[in-house]
Amino acid sequence: MKKTKPISYEHVLEFKRCTRDGDEHGGIIDPLIENFWHKAPEALRQREYEHNGCTIRVDINWQRLANRIRSFNEAWRPASTGGLPPNNSARQRVSRPLKIPAKVTVSGENDTSSYQWYPSFFAETFVHEVFLVANLAVPGAANFYSLSISRHEDRSPIEVRLSQYAFECAWVDSLDGNWPNVQALPREDVCEWFKALDIGYKQRAGTGIEKALYVLLHMANGETRIDSVAWIFHGLEALVSTRVGESVSGMVRRLGVVLDLDTRTQKILNQRLRKLYDLRSSFVHGGYAVPHPINSEVIDRNLDDHMRDFYELIQFGAALLITTIQALIKKRIIKLGFDELIVTTTI
């Protein structure tokens, strides 16, 4: 590696919105989100990558985000308990765009380190990692959908567009008494598990767990559409090592082992997963009644029942993927495989 003086590149993370989309179960969810960001550990503030002879260090202090989330919750808390909403001045104060400084320091040189996008790539990579860690630890904690990353020299910022919506909805449904059981996990446990995966800047997933995590990122990056069902099955099949198109019963059996499901819950999983599988099959093989892209249930009431069932199935699939990954975290599993056992009786 050629000896060069480390070069630091100042970045700005700008949030147009950084809080939850809803306010359900605010007494439980909001304090846990606030605590997650307050005094974030080093694993969430600093990250080093080694790339082709370069050492790249990313530093982000999330305390401004923690302060904004807490101020927003305090301003709106009276309204959530039947009181008055914040006045216009307070509302503007807690809703204006939030800017957080970030620094990327590059030591060494390689064939791509001189490109202007190079340091920003690692800032964006770290932001994706933090998004996953935050929402697996406290579902709904990281709303990065309106987040942009920029340098002073950049003509156009990087638009991150990662929504916490699926994580938040999954946890709210669980708190309402529904299954799958998505929950909050200790921040340190999730950080330790994610670090042990050692994914780094890898652009193609290798293991089943990596594939499932990348699926969550793809789903967070887009709207809930029919292709979401394909992403969900890709993530589940990768996690439990079932082949594409393999029977649902095999997937249910393996998920039941990972999730420690009793017979009753396994029957629920089998029933709902088959409905999700039928939806995927109709999409892949041509039986799906394709809605118009405008997708207005108000104009055409025939769309009502279809869209309600569709969103419920997609949300169930996303929650199942999230709770399965959380089960691996709780069991400290970073690599998962299944062996087939043949039992015979001979004459």
Q: Rounded to two decimals, what is the model's pTM?
A: 0.93
* End-to-end Cα distance, the chain: 67
| pLDDT score recorded for residue 3 | 62
Question: What number is the average pLDDT over the span 62-89?
Answer: 90
Instruction: Render pLDDT for 122-147 as a digit per residue (tens, 0 to 9).
Output: 999 999 999 999 999 999 999 999 99
Distance CA 44, CA 171 (A): 22
Average pLDDT on 316-333 reads 98
Integer Cα distance of 104 and 48 in angstroms: 10
Q: How many CB atoms lie within 10 A of CB 84?
A: 7
Question: Can you tell me the mean pLDDT for 156-180?
Answer: 96
Strand partners for 103: 10, 59
List the CATH code of the domain at 208-330. 1.20.120
Domain with CATH 1.20.120 in the chain: 208-330
Does residue 1 register a pLDDT over 50? Answer: no
Q: Write out pLDDT tens, residues 12-41.
A: 999 999 999 889 999 999 999 999 999 999
At residue 304, the 3 state secondary structure works out as helix
Alpha carbons within 13 angstroms on the beta-carbon side of residue 344 total 3
Nearest by Cα to 147 from 15, 11, 12: 15
